Amino acid sequence: MLTDTPGLHHVTGIVGDAQDAIDFYSGVLGLRLVIQTVNFEDILQHHLYFGDAAGTPGTVLTQFPDPHGDPGRHGSPQVESVSFVVPSGTLTHWHARLEAHDLAVEGPLERFGDRVLRLEDPAGTRIELVAGPSVPSDIDPWTAGSVPAADAIRGLHGVSTLSTNPYATAGLLETLGFEYETETDDRVRYRAPGTRATVVDVLDRDVPFGREGAGTLHHVAVRVEGEADLHEWRTLFDDRDYDVSRVKDRHFFHSLYVREPGGILFELATETDGVAASDDAGAPGESLYLPDRFEADRDLIESQLPTLRVPTGRDKYR
């Protein structure tokens, strides 16, 4: 019998330059570059995982760098923004830190009892920092990064979606186990029953159609217990005539993808202790990790990818 998802697993976006992404997400936001690997659908492009020390499901944002692609355009149907949890009382620090890095910051805004800062990464991806009355007790911040532990990000808070059919998107969320919580004129909040990364806001706005590319968010993933659950979910979605993929081996987890009638791409991904493999050979994310099936092509792959520098310590990025 299918069980409700406890919350988000990860969020994936598209950026232009891989080094710019590392400098922003690790150097400015203080997330750990847990792993650098390749896009399993295009092994001559990087796939970067950012999160807590282990890449715990519910803390991870991943990015596909595409330096030669066209810029994206914000609109529907898309994941409009991704939000991270920060401790209550830290937004003044974060506002000053972000402005010191020449980033335009909007807020703090008030939303459903939380205080929110809005900004964009160098590619234009819409990011939010959310400070509420509590933070997840089961997530420890990455303490070896560029942000002091007292201020550091505690994982994902959630996402906002721009759907072509908000009612259909809400229907999928309810099927997955999210429940209606509250709403304003153009924002309806749904929450999963877990302890971290539990929020999806469905926006009801008249916006132009978007275009996938650098600066947009590609999909949002939710957590399921195991691979057997994925096959059950696939049967359910197939019976309802949803656009659903086969179950895929993503090496760090198994998953499937479903595009609901409102146009938002959701992934269902299995729970693990950490979504990324350990990198024992060097510093966090310092070397390129390849699954065994790609090792024979390492020389070719590395010759086509830029060498990336991983920020270490706090002094340069304070």
The model's pLDDT over 207-240, given as tens digits with 9 standing for 90+, comes to: 999 999 999 999 999 999 999 999 999 999 999 9
Distance CA 131, CA 124 (A): 22
- pLDDT of 148-185, one tens digit each? 999 999 999 999 999 999 999 999 999 999 999 999 99
Whole-number pLDDT of residue 274: 86
**C-alpha span between 239 and 242 (Å, rounded):** 8
Instruction: Give the whole-angstrom CA distance, residue 141 versus residue 85.
Output: 10
- SS3 of residue 106 by DSSP: strand
For residue range 36-46, list pLDDT tens digits in order: 999 998 999 99
Report yes or no on whether pTM surpasses 0.85: yes
Q: Inform me whether the pLDDT recorded for 314 exceeds 60.
A: no
For 282-301, write each residue's pLDDT tens digit. 555 778 999 999 999 999 99
Tell me which residue of 274, 294, 292, 293 sits closest to 284, measured CA to CA: 274
Average pLDDT, the chain: 93
Specify which residues 268 forms β-bridges with.
222, 256
- Residue 317: pLDDT over 60: no
Position 23 pLDDT exceeds 50: yes
Q: Give mean pLDDT, residues 63-92.
A: 96
pLDDT at residue 69 greater than cutoff 70: yes
Mean pLDDT within 244-251: 95
Mean pLDDT computed over 254-270: 97
- The token pair at 65 is 């760098």
Place of tokens 């978007």: 210
pLDDT at 128: 98
Range in 130-134, 171-175, 240-244 the model is least confident about: 130-134
Q: With beta carbons less than 8 A apart as the criterion, state whether 189 and 174 touch.
A: no
Q: Where are the alpha helices (DSSP H) in the chain?
A: 18-22, 91-100, 166-176, 227-239, 292-295, 298-304
Whole-number pLDDT of residue 179: 98
pLDDT attached to residue 318: 45
CB count in 10 Å sphere of residue 281: 8
Nearest of 38, 16, 31 to residue 250 by alpha carbon: 38
Question: Residue 228 is encoded by which pair of tokens?
Answer: 């057997």
Average pLDDT over residues 13-41: 95
Q: Is 116 in contact with 129 (CB distance < 8 Å)?
A: yes
Least-confidence region, from 130-134, 136-140, 259-263? 136-140
For residue 251 the two structure tokens come to 């090496």
Q: What is the mean pLDDT of the segment spanning 191-217?
A: 97
